Amino acid sequence: MEIWVARQPIFDARSNVAGYELLYRSGPTNAFDGSEANSATAKVINAAFYSPGGREIMYGKPVFINFPGQLLTDGGATLLPPDEVVIEILETIVPSLELMVACHDLRSRGYRLALDDFIPAPERDQLAALAHYIKVDLRLTTPEQQQDVVRRWGKTARLVAEKVETHEEFERVRGMGFNLFQGYFFARPVMISTTDVRGSKLNRLQILQQLQHQQLDFNAISKLVSQDSSLSYKLLRLVNSALFNVRAPIASIRKAIVLVGELALRRWLTILLLTELTANQPTELAVNALVRARLCELLASDAGMGGRSDDLFLLGLFSHLDAMYGRPLDELLNGLNLHEDIVDTLLGRSNSNSGIVSLWNTIVAYEQGHWDRMAEAAAIAGVRTEAVPELYAAAVQWAELVVHGGTVEKTADGVGSGKPVSTCSSL
């Protein structure tokens, strides 16, 4: 699914870009179809902050995003990084007590507020006193009103002149005291398209990101899992299986997660999510990613890198992300908080003689049938050449079991060993 967003630059007095306003569009026609405001804002946020390639929209500049009143009072803005976004309060919003409390809270958290299409009026004074930016539409205000805004608020807020369409208008409002400028005189909105992951897939990507944190936030993961009925069901099936011997009823998703334990939860969720995220891709893609992940893990011990088996598992697991999403791999890895040498290996930026790269080259060469190259890489990695075929076969068996149904035997450390236990249930 594609999300269409119009991006219009905001310039300073020297014609340098100071930020971008992002506006929801219904499609490639660069028009808004009047969709419900909360939904439109949510789609813009999704495009800019959560979709692969979304940050390309921003070019390192702050983005101005329109917020309807409900999203402000519900705390929706607090999901965004305060240094990257300006919360734009629509002119239609009534400054109620609840709204003012929300705005004070946002300021205390470091968020910047902007008033859109501001027209001087006593009922808007409270909001103007809190604003970091005040945007004035030159088509909706008189020169006298524009001057009044400069006089009253020019020292406490940055003033943005909107709908600047001629050089004469630009010179006039700049001389009046406006700091920033937006309008067709500078640039028309440019359409940007980003690829979205529908519904539950977005939720699962967020869980995958949580799994990369050094210490799991059980509350955050519990909340995300609870929002997905399929994951919740499978989690409870897992906890109530013979692996855990749970007798008492499970009262909450969080309790189930705690019972599974951090190490087993990481592995189970990562495998399950990868499999389901590739539901619309050839099954072989999921299988091969899992084969690589498991083989990385198995070879880690042989190469004396057993302490990094989890990192190496992720190396193989994420090696097909670009094929899964049709996006450059460096974009998809950005923000996952993986170890630098894992990222560098995936992107081909590491020293070819390093242990991790040599182990990875061993796997790739084996897959491609380049036996001499495989033997050379294995020697550098400290891997026994004769062990690779046996471990590869074990990895294939394990991956096929995970993808096509079954579970795996749980070892003392809570991680699947690869040995089949049953093929009549699934993870």
Q: Pick 326 or 168 by higher pLDDT.
A: 168
pLDDT higher than threshold 50 for residue 45: yes
The confidence band for 349, taking pLDDT boundaries of 50, 70 and 90, is confident
Average pLDDT over residues 415-425: 31
Q: Tens digit of pLDDT for each residue in 103-138?
A: 999 999 999 999 999 998 898 899 999 999 999 999
Taking the model in full, what pTM does it have?
A: 0.47
Model pLDDT, residue 126: 92
pLDDT higher than threshold 70 for residue 335: no
Model pLDDT, residue 123: 87
Percent of the chain past pLDDT 90, that is, above it, reads: 26
pLDDT higher than threshold 90 for residue 242: no
Average pLDDT over residues 314-329: 76
The confidence band for 199, taking pLDDT boundaries of 50, 70 and 90, is very low
Least confident of 88-102, 142-156, 399-413: 399-413
Model pLDDT, residue 189: 53
Q: Taking the CA atoms of the chain, what radius of gyration do you get in angstroms? A: 27
Least confident of 1-15, 127-141, 185-199, 241-255: 185-199
Q: Pick 374 or 409 by higher pLDDT.
A: 374
pLDDT higher than threshold 60 for residue 192: no
Q: Pick 117 or 419 by higher pLDDT.
A: 117
How many CB atoms within 10 Å of residue 211?
Answer: 19
Model pLDDT, residue 100: 95
Model pLDDT, residue 316: 87
Q: Which CATH architecture best describes the domain 2-195?
A: Alpha-Beta Barrel (3.20)
Model pLDDT, residue 279: 52
Distance CA 426, CA 277 (A): 16
Q: Tens digit of pLDDT for each residue in 403-418?
A: 554 434 433 333 333 3
Average pLDDT over residues 32-49: 67
The confidence band for 89, taking pLDDT boundaries of 50, 70 and 90, is very high
Q: Pick 267 or 405 by higher pLDDT.
A: 267
Question: CB-based contacts of 59: which residues, under 8 Å, 6+ apart?
Answer: 17, 20
Q: Pick 269 or 353 by higher pLDDT.
A: 269
Least confident of 24-33, 70-79, 84-93, 210-219: 24-33
pLDDT higher than threshold 90 for residue 144: yes
Model pLDDT, residue 27: 46
Percent of the chain past pLDDT 70, that is, above it, reads: 69
Residue ranges per structural domain of the chain: 2-195, 198-277, 281-427
Average pLDDT over residues 18-25: 80
pLDDT higher than threshold 90 for residue 399: no
How far apart, in Å, do the first and last CA atoms of the chain sit? 28
The confidence band for 166, taking pLDDT boundaries of 50, 70 and 90, is confident
